[in-house]
Structure formats: C-alpha cells, structure tokens
Amino acid sequence: MIKFYQFGNSVCCQKVRITMLEKQLTWEPVEVNVFRNEQYSSDYLKINPKGVVPALVHDGKAITESTLICEYLDDVYPHPSLIPADPFLRTSMRQWSKLVDEGLFEGITEISFSAMFRQRLKNLSAEERNVRFRNVGDPRRRDRFVSTYELGTASPFVLHGVAAYYKTFKLLENALDERGPWILGESLSLADISLMPYVARLEFLGLLDVFTVDRPAVREWWKIAREWPSYIAGVVAFVKDHEREEMITHGPKIRGDIEDLISKVKSIAHEASGH
C-alpha cells in the first residue's frame, strides 16, 4: 500500500510520479496545497517534519526527500530497474541527482518565484505575507523567499539559480555527446527522471530555449523526454489550466532579465577559466 502526499505542480512530486509510473505502480494520492500552508499542519508535520512535499508512506512507513523516495522505490520494486548495475554508472546517476538537489532545486524555486509566485504574494495582504514567510521555518529558505519577493530577478539567489542551470546544461551536453540518447546511455535512469521536471518548468515558463540555444544534444534529449509516456502522465497531466496560464503569462516577462543573467554567468565562467 502506497500513499503519496503531493502537490500537483511541485517539481519534486513530479519526479516521484514519473518513477512510480515507470514501475507501473498504483498509489493513493493525498493533495497537500502548499499555497494554503497545508504542509505545515500538525498532522502532515508528523509525516514530514520539514514541512515540504512530497512524502511517501509505504506499508505504514514514511519516506521523505524525493531523491531518496525514488531510490527506495527502485529497491522495493526493482523491475524495471532505473538504477544502473554498473558501479561507475550508478555513482554517475547519483551525481546527477546531487546536482539537481544542490543546484536546480533552489534554482527553479527562485526563477519560478521571481516570475509568478512573487506576484501571488503581492496580491496578499501584508499580514498574509508575513504568515507565509513565518511558516517557511528554515531561516535560509526564508531569506531566499524574502529576497526574491523584494528584488525579483535582481535577487542574488536568482543569479545563483541561473548559474546552476548553466552549469548543469553544460555538463548535460557533454554527457549526451559521450553516451546518449539518455544521460547514462541506452536506457532511461533516475538521472533523466531527476532532471525532467526541472527542464519542464523552464519550458512551461517559456525560458528553456534561452538556456539551450547552444546545446543541441540537450535539445535532442528533451525531444525524447517530453514525449515519454511517464513524463506526460506524471508531469503534463498534473499541470492545471490556471497554472499553465500563469506560467505562460509571467515567464516571458522575466526573459530579458534571465538572458542578461546568463550573459553575466558566462562572463564569470570565462574569467574563472583564465581566458
């Protein structure tokens, strides 16, 4: 028995749903509306003390952190396997998961926030905003949210997010040139699944081409990934019409700023290389 606590348009939840669909699992979904602060309810905090989604409860045991949930599912339901048997490739897969968790997770949060979630907060009263910020709980996360709310794309955290994507796409281009068509070679793995939602969010925001204009191998990989059945069922099918409209409307508004930040990141990388 699997119970999955989720918010439909959460990139972390999308990653787990793709994994479950690849394994043809069935589960009981439990919606946790993060914009209504349901992740901070006392009942949910007993399941996930961090107050974030997703959380998976399997046979009465709670597992949190999307990367760990995906690996847990591959252990419990090993067929088809999404983790390579080869030790080097298995480690490479985990390096990609680490890259996502340590860079793209915060990166897409700040890019999304500066594009659309910031506008949602502007529409709230001052007291409602303060409640939202207080409920974050983690001082580091709170600082990021407040900075992006106040400064938008001028926040240094948005620059950090753009830099994380720039680095990831550069590494992805090299990996696909070496192996392909998937990140680790012929078969889909958790490396691909980890990345899919984060690339999808840029596409929904109308910003993906800004990052991939000089990454032909990444674009080819994405052509395959975006038509993959578990991606369509686990990501696209869960994006509601009003969410899609919100992303389409607000993403292009920051396009120029994102292009400028990419140019800044490239300049920094060029200086660091000593050229």
Give the pLDDT mean for 212-236.
98
Q: Which of 113-122, 159-168, 238-247 has the lowest mean pLDDT?
A: 113-122
Cα→Cα distances 138→6, 49, 144, 234, Å:
20, 11, 10, 29
Q: Is 5 helix (H, G, I), strand (E, B) or coil?
A: strand
Does residue 170 surpass a pLDDT of 90?
A: yes
- Contacts within 8 Å (CB) and 24+ apart, 45-52: 47/5, 48/5, 50/137, 50/138, 51/135, 51/137, 52/12
- pLDDT at 228 (0 to 100): 98
Does residue 138 surpass a pLDDT of 90?
A: no
267 located within any domain: yes
174 located within any domain: yes
Q: Are residues 92 and 24 in the same domain?
A: no
81 located within any domain: no
Does residue 152 surpass a pLDDT of 90?
A: yes
Q: Are residues 112 and 219 in the same domain?
A: yes
Q: Are residues 102 and 58 in the same domain?
A: no
Query: Domain boundary at 23, 44, 76, which?
Result: 76
82 located within any domain: no
Q: Are residues 130 and 250 in the same domain?
A: yes
- pLDDT at 120 (0 to 100): 83
Does residue 275 surpass a pLDDT of 70?
A: no
Does residue 229 surpass a pLDDT of 70?
A: yes
246 located within any domain: yes
CATH number for the domain spanning 255: value is 1.20.1050
Roughly what angle, to the nearest 10 degrees, separates helices 11-22 and 190-204?
130
Q: Are residues 228 and 92 in the same domain?
A: yes
Q: Are residues 70 and 95 in the same domain?
A: no
Q: Are residues 38 and 122 in the same domain?
A: no
- pLDDT at 198 (0 to 100): 98
93 located within any domain: yes
158 located within any domain: yes
Query: Domain boundary at 48, 76, 104, which?
Result: 76
pTM equals 0.95
Does residue 151 surpass a pLDDT of 90?
A: yes
Give the pLDDT mean for 171-181.
96
Q: Are 169 and 218 in contact (CB under 8 A)?
A: yes
Q: Are residues 127 and 198 in the same domain?
A: yes
Q: Are 88 and 182 in contact (CB under 8 A)?
A: no
Give the pLDDT mean for 217-246.
97
The band of 37, judged by pLDDT with boundaries at 50, 70 and 90, is: confident
CATH number for the domain spanning 9: value is 3.40.30.10
115 located within any domain: yes
For the chain, give the mean pLDDT: 94
Q: Are residues 120 and 187 in the same domain?
A: yes
Does residue 132 surpass a pLDDT of 80?
A: no
Q: Are residues 57 and 97 in the same domain?
A: no
Does residue 106 surpass a pLDDT of 90?
A: yes
**pLDDT tens digits for range 1-14:** 999 999 999 999 99
The band of 274, judged by pLDDT with boundaries at 50, 70 and 90, is: low
Lookup result for tokens 């983790």:
83
- pLDDT at 7 (0 to 100): 96
Q: Are residues 16 and 126 in the same domain?
A: no
**pLDDT tens digits for range 188-201:** 999 999 999 999 99
Q: Are residues 123 and 61 in the same domain?
A: no
Q: Per the structure, how many domains does the chain have?
A: 2
Give the pLDDT mean for 253-263.
98
Q: By percentage, how much of the chain surpasses pLDDT 90?
A: 84
The band of 209, judged by pLDDT with boundaries at 50, 70 and 90, is: very high
- pLDDT at 117 (0 to 100): 84
Give the pLDDT mean for 124-133.
79
What is the span of the domain harbouring residue 45?
A: 2-76
Alpha helices in 105-155 (DSSP H): 105-112, 118-122, 126-135, 139-151
